[in-house]
Structure 1
């Protein structure tokens, strides 16, 4: 499993990133890794990055975070870079529903913001979003109504979201600021927040 710890600085802003890749045993610098490196250098947001290629790898990475990382309480954002459709993720040729992901994270995301990159659509009904939040314990879940292989959220909106969140953790204020700063892109990618 690919594991990268971005250099720690004397800051208290942390992101935990899980990315699905074709083969976690192959060392690679993905677009997401480059973004995380930029975040620590330019915005002083420290990250832990884990690559996985199976649902078991995803669960193992999550368990490592929960049980082995003593900074877990400092991670306010869990950044999921997972391909998929509507309300499912695709790992190693298998689709897993948002409900299955909620159950995988059951009770483990207390107070966290779970943010999905635009590699997959996030289109939850009120009932689905409430279920996800209740089961995981997450404070909020965010993502995009448009997935696009040509327009990555990582370089633009995701970085802005993370930066604004660590300036002001009032999630509604963060979203308002995002739309003021990048209205066209927020609309293009259809940024969504469930809380």
Structure 2
């Protein structure tokens, strides 16, 4: 089945000049083969690279409206991401995405914990225009969230209500959601 909603994935890597096939890339390929959900995969190693990739998506990709999920795989601590050994707050990231994520879900893999207060979540959503931001409370280098991420992405294809999506995810994969501490702010 071909879907009309896509995933834009941006993964932080130590050096974009070094070509490697990451687990996330393989997981998205598998998702495309099994479900027909297409994605664009890009890497970045600086905040400028993140911003440039986003600008290319926004201003040069005519299918941008079809990208429902912006999938970010970036390490970090607390409510920061780390690129090239520099930490950027989610408030700074919100300002980069300012007003450009209308109707999108920004989903963080479990490479960083996502633990927003109600005010932080509302600020992020208000500034970016996103429909929701999701991720995990638990960071793990041993167990990635990629399989649960793919289930989440599949559910997003069939349902528009984020509450329904989360309920279905917890219903089918409660143990994984609990272990990784899946979170959604909307």
What TM-score, normalized to structure 2?
A: 0.98
Q: 1:46 aligns with which of 38, 42, 48?
A: 38
CA apart distance, 1:11 = 3.2
Q: 1:139 aligns with which of 112, 131, 134?
A: 131
Distance 1:163 1:11 in 2: 10
Given that 1:116 and 1:142 are in contact with CA atoms closer than 8 Å, whether structure 2 keeps it comes out as yes
Correspondence 1:43-192 to 2 at 5 A: 43-154=35-146, 156-192=147-183
Distance 1:60 1:13 in 2: 22
Distance 1:95 1:11 in 2: 35
Given that 2:2 and 2:35 are in contact with CA atoms closer than 8 Å, whether structure 1 keeps it comes out as no
Secondary structure at the aligned position of 1:173 is classed as helix
Distance 1:13 1:109 in 2: 14
Secondary structure at the aligned position of 2:119 is classed as helix
Given that 1:13 and 1:44 are in contact with CA atoms closer than 8 Å, whether structure 2 keeps it comes out as no
Distance 1:55 1:113 in 2: 20
CA apart distance, 1:13 = 2.4
CA apart distance, 1:10 = 4.8
Secondary structure at the aligned position of 2:143 is classed as coil
Superposition RMSD in Å = 1.0
Secondary structure at the aligned position of 2:9 is classed as strand
What TM-score, normalized to structure 1?
A: 0.93
Question: Runs of 5+ in structure 2 lacking a partner?
Answer: none
CA apart distance, 1:125 = 0.3
Distance 2:60 2:17 in 1: 21
